[in-house]
Amino acid sequence: MFLEFKLSIRINLTANEKEYFNDASINFNYENYNCFLELISAKDIEENIEKEKISYIRKHHAISITIEDNNKGTIENFVKEQSMMQILNLVNSISNRCLLVIRNYGNLTKVKEFSLKLDRADKEQFKSFFMMLDVKIAKNNMEYEKILKHWGFKDDIAKEFTSKFLLDNFFDVYHEEYLDYDTWLDIKNTLENNYEITEDRIFFVNSLEHRKNNNIRLAVIETVIGLEIVVTKYLRNYLKFKNIPNDRIGDLINPHIGIYSMVSVLLDLSVEEEIIKHIKIDKVLKLIKLRNNVIHNNYKIPKETTKQNEIFEQIQATHFLCKLLFSFCNKIIIIKGLLKKTKKNYDIENVQTRCMIDVPNIILSVYLKKYSNELITKINFSVINSLKDFRRFEKLYDEEKYLYISYRFNKKVMAKFSKGKLEFLNQ
């Protein structure tokens, strides 16, 4: 048996190619149920031309989720026994898993989990929730029937009115959220692989929400909490890459070394100079001091617009640092880790790694101690194979599109790899 329901959330998906809109669905497993999520749209794809660049958008008015019954026939038994509470609890649980992933991986502050506060004795309340969520069932995943009709309940105008009232309370039905296709792939990857939602993402999105709602005090507190988590994770990853033993890592990263010291000193030691110059460290440090004053001294956020704008700039600088460390610097560490074996096996002098924050490009400069076309061919093959595991971190990665390598010997570029092809320049 199959159970289907809808969440009234408006998501506008943007993409650079029309064909990407065919990928607006996700198959995933949760709580031992196979599930299928799909963005629902009744509108055509819109084209947008800006500065001679074409992009596309499709507006979706709801999310549809289908749950396939498990081997025990749990859903079928619930339906037979009219176990309304159990069905709604299942719907609520799977809905919240999807909503939390969409919120925290899509940075959509208006999307929130919800709780159906159910009264076992109030059947009329149950009916309204079933109508609100448009719950349907089918035996073959094709011929769906409203679950209330299946149980023999007649249409009720009063219940329909109540369900619409509930809809406005549980979902921000008039607010539209925007998602680009790359972010949608992150959401898809998380649901498909049942990844956990990490605390740093939760605090980051919470701080974005507080910032939008002009709740500056909470925005400051949650931004710095998220920063502490991200910086600690990054430094642990960096030190592990440097082969520092765990006990020595624990000596360096512990509650006695505060976030202020980690940002003001340790980041300068671990992040490349080319990257660190883009980080407004002074603003980040000011936000940390402000958070400490708010927490420990009950400091009140100033009401003057100019001072509040300064705090917003500090929050923005901290958000940028979090994003940089979480997606960009960790990405470089992962790439260097994957290439360690290649570097050692072929006695390579150095491999410089460059990435871009929002796109999956990898740019490598390989400095050789010795040179031959045969050697470069072997190294190139090894690099490509080593980076295949990078797809677990960056779903969009494809060496034919996003990998660029230059091979250098005696200060000369001897060969290049791009668009999936290796070209020798010394011929």
Q: Which residues of the chain, if any, have pLDDT below 70?
A: 120-121, 156-174, 356-359, 395-396, 426-427
**Tokens representing 289?**
């001091």
Residue (of 110, 102, 129) closest to 185 by Cα position? 102
Asked if residue 60 lies in contact with residue 13, where contact means CB atoms within 8 angstroms, the answer is yes
* Tokens 């990407």 belong to residue: 20
* Confidence (pLDDT) at 427: 58
* Confidence (pLDDT) at 357: 65
Each residue of 43-60: pLDDT tens digit? 889 988 887 788 999 999
* Confidence (pLDDT) at 405: 93
Gap between the Cα atoms of 335 and 139, Å rounded:
47
Q: Which residues lie across from 29 on neighbouring strands?
A: 34
Half-sphere exposure of 1 (CA within 13 A, CB side): 15
* Confidence (pLDDT) at 362: 86
* Confidence (pLDDT) at 161: 58
Phi, psi of 109 (to 5 degrees): -75, -20
Q: Are strands 10-15 and 176-180 parallel, antiparallel or unpaired?
A: parallel
* Confidence (pLDDT) at 243: 84
